[in-house]
């Protein structure tokens, strides 16, 4: 029942030309791409935003569906807004897209910026750890 409901949620989409990525302010990176401080025209978010930019070449078929599933889950988790949940502000899913400052931007998630790092950095020292199931879903135990 939950999975069906999550599929019905549509994350807000953002035109890549409204997004400015500060490539000199990388706050995280991995095989998927990078996370950068940024700005989105028309969004005035206290504390700022980060843009999780995925390498376009890495997003094919199943990876695109995984991105959309993560975006749908984050959309559900941030409704109603809560001070302890980083909200998903929107997604970019436009192959060949270009940001306002001419950075290639095909697949990305715009998120509220949370100083201090990711949740896993806070929980691991307390004995929690992150695991992934066969479908690629991440759980913190």
Q: What is the pLDDT along the chain (141 residues), one digit of tens a residue?
A: 445 455 577 888 899 999 999 989 998 887 778 899 999 999 888 888 999 888 776 677 777 777 788 888 888 877 766 666 678 888 888 878 888 888 888 888 998 887 776 666 666 677 666 666 555 555 555
Bridge partners, 139 (sequence order): 131
Q: Which CATH superfamily is domain 2-140 in?
A: Phosphorylase Kinase; domain 1 (3.30.200.20)
The model's pTM is: 0.74
Per residue, the 3-state secondary structure of the chain, as one string, reads CHHHHHHHCCCCECCHHHEEEEEEEEEEEECCEEEEEEEECCCCCCCCEEEEEECHHHCCCHHHHHHHHHHHHHHHHCCCCCCCCCCEEEEEECCCCECCCCCECCEEEEEECCCCCCHHHHHHHHCCCEEECCCCCEEEC
**Domain locations in the chain?**
2-140
């Amino acid at each position: 029942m939950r999975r069906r409901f999550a599929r019905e949620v549509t994350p807000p989409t953002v035109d890549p030309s409204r997004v400015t990525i500060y490539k000199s302010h990388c706050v995280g990176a991995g095989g998927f791409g990078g996370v950068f401080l940024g700005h989105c025209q028309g969004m005035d978010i206290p504390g700022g935003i980060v843009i999780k930019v995925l390498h376009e070449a890495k997003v094919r078929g199943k990876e695109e569906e995984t991105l959309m599933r993560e975006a749908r889950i984050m959309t559900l988790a941030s409704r109603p807004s809560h001070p302890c949940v980083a909200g998903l502000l929107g997604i970019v899913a436009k192959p060949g897209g270009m940001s306002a400052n001419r950075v290639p931007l095909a697949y990305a998630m715009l998120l509220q910026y949370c100083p201090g790092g990711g949740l896993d950095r806070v929980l691991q020292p307390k004995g929690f750890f992150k695991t992934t199931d066969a479908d690629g879903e991440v759980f913190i135990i």
